[in-house]
Amino acid sequence: MANNFKQPPLQTDIKAENQTNGIAIEWSRWYNDIYLELSTKNHSKVSAAQALNLNSKYISLDSTSGAMAITLAAPPNPGMTKIIEMTVDGGDVTMSLANCIGGSAATTCTWNDVGDTLILKSRSDKWIVISPELGVALS
């Protein structure tokens, strides 16, 4: 399985004499990127109608309060992966696919059961639907 890890900055010494923590800025940024990728800080929970967080890799949908509609803006940059999964089913969750391509030219997707999952990958201007077959209905 591919990951989004960047290559470490091997051209830069890890130690930096002029930095207060002793680590070069490039290495510090690289460690922070790895931490964000592996931690739950890039996860979000949605329990009301709203726009989805573009920086969250994993989004859990909780429709305890009933059916809701969510939106997804165009991606800020290419190469991002987004996994949207229904974790609590209290009603259907729908999302416009206006900023998505693929998925048999569908215009809307619907999560209606726990475990329904949609995986998206970004290109420069749209999200590409990778796996509509994981229970999410595209229409």
pLDDT, tens digit only, all 139 positions of the chain: 345 667 878 878 877 766 566 777 788 777 777 766 666 667 899 999 999 999 898 999 999 999 999 999 999 989 888 999 999 999 999 999 999 998 776 899 999 999 999 999 999 999 999 876 789 999 9
pTM: 0.75
Question: What per-residue confidence (pLDDT) applies to 18?
Answer: 64
Looking at CATH, the fold of the domain delimited by 43-138 is given as Jelly Rolls (2.60.120)
Question: What per-residue confidence (pLDDT) applies to 116?
Answer: 96
- Name the one residue in this structure whose structure tokens are 């460690």: 31
The closest of 58, 2, 5, 1 to 31, measured between CA atoms, is 5
Long-range pairs, 102-105, Cβ under 8 A, ≥24: 102/128, 102/129, 102/130, 102/132, 103/129, 103/132, 103/138, 104/132, 104/138
